Structure 1
Amino acid sequence: MKRVICILLFFGAVSAVQLTLPFPSGTGVFSVSAADEHDDVLQAIKRGELMTYAKIKRIAEAKLQGVVVGQKLRRTNRGWQYDLRIRRKDGKVMVAIVDARTGEIVATR
């Protein structure tokens, strides 16, 4: 048995959970879901359901006049969205939520 300590973050509260997994040491249990998610993204790009990160980055940098310094792609109930951290020319960092299918900036803060 392999013991794993998981640090969980729920709404700002951090808690640690100890799990005992019946998997042999070195088994990539968590990489399976990441690989599946990666395949989902590639298939969605091929189907035209979302733009590539490079296109979204160019659109966001042009519209918001800054440089993308961080990104995250996530699936929501409204479809795929990119969460981008953008450093503006004045040095301030903003967060932009961008619709991954259209490149439309949904919200900024």
Structure 2
Amino acid sequence: AVIAEGLKSRNELDQSRGKGLGGGDRDTISFTADPETAQAIEVAMREAREVARGDITVENMLAEAERDGFTENLMKYWDRDWKQGDPLPEGVQNLLEG
């Protein structure tokens, strides 16, 4: 529904109360009341859009993670026992292979 129609406020969805994340006025879309969390969500959503459009590849993201010292955390998202030197987790390998 979101892909076809975009994000909608509770008012546009004709809901009297929120169902899911956030809250706030009926004519707004809210994920959090915390500004830092909101900024992180915005960055993640923009990045997801860039990935979906093909502007960023999985290879780009892995290179960025390595550059920023985040590789281990990223790999542990897929396999909590992963350590440097291990093969890529299956989920990461599947993403690379398309």
Q: Could you tell me the TM-score, scaled by structure 1's length? A: 0.28
Larger helix share, 1 or 2: 2
Larger strand share, 1 or 2: 1
Q: Could you tell me the TM-score, scaled by structure 2's length? A: 0.30
